[in-house]
Structure 1
Amino acid sequence: METHRLVLTEDLNQYGFLFGGRLLSWADELGYIAASNDFPDANFVTIGMGEVAFKKPVKNGAILCLKAVQSKRGTTSVSYEISVTAGQSTEQIFSTDISFVNVYANGQKRALSH
């Protein structure tokens, strides 16, 4: 799955670059959407992120390309590799791995179907 984001002034930190927390939020959201599309009957919650690597600063006005690729599937969980590039470049500016678990309304794990 792929999506794009425009970096706006409200996304910047005190030094004028993209705030890392904002990018983490976008990555988590993309992973959730990818998982929900792949398993439409599931109720996912985020259970973890792997190593988070911010490789380059991002300036105001940059257009980011965020990609999610399923990397692992378990009985109740699924993981996605998230990568981000800026503009027309293919050079990664960010990457991480995000895992989601399918749960019942009471929070207990539930097997994935599909």
Structure 2
Amino acid sequence: METQRLVLPEDLNHLGFLFGGRLLAWVDEASWIAASLDYPHCQFVTVGMDKVEFHHSVRQGTILSIRCEREREGTTSVSYRVEVFDRRNPGASPIFGTLVSYVSVDDTGRKRALR
């Protein structure tokens, strides 16, 4: 799955670059949507991200492409490889990449099988 985001003034930190927490929220949201589309009968909660390291700064007006691909499936959990690119610079290396893991839960918050 792939989605795009436009970096707006309210997404910037005090130095004029994309606030890291905002990007993490977008990554979490995009990969949660991917998981929810792949497993429409499941309710997911985020377990974690394997590594948080920003490779390039991002300025206002940048169009980001957030790409999510399922990497691992367990009994109750699933993980997605997420990479973020500058949409206008398709040959460039990713701005950010991580592995986001989710667990399927029931209405009481207990783990539930994916299938």
Scaled to the shorter chain, the TM-score interval is over 0.9
Counterpart residue number, 1:29: 29
What is the distance in 1 between the residues matched to 2:83 and 2:52? 10
Gaps of 5+ in 2: none
Alignment: residue pair count: 113
Query: In the TM superposition, what is the alpha-carbon distance from 1:17 to its structure 2 partner?
Result: 0.3
**Corresponding residue SS for 1:26:** helix
Equivalent runs, 1:30-109 vs 2, <5 Å: 30-86=30-86, 87-90=88-91, 91-109=93-111
CA–CA distance in structure 2, aligned partners of residues 67 and 53 of structure 1: 16
TM-score after normalising by structure 1 = 0.97
Identity value in percent: 52
Task: Provide Cα deviations, 1:45-69, integer angstroms capped at 9, x if missing partner.
Answer: 0011101120000000000000000
* 1:68-105 superposed Cα distances (whole Å, 9 cap, x missing partner): 00010000000001100012333200011100000011
Unpaired runs of 5+ residues, structure 1, are none
RMSD of aligned residue pairs (Cα, Å): 0.7
- In 1: Cα distance, 2:24 partner to 2:4 partner: 14
Specify the SS of the correspondent of 1:100: strand
**Structure 2 counterpart of 1:76, one-letter code:** T
Partner SS for 1:14: coil
User: Within 1, Cα distance between the matches of 2:90 and 2:25?
Assistant: 22
Encode CA deviations 1:6-26: one digit per residue, 9 max, x unaligned: 000000000000000000000
SS in 2 for 1:101: strand
Q: Which amino acid aligns with 2:7?
A: V
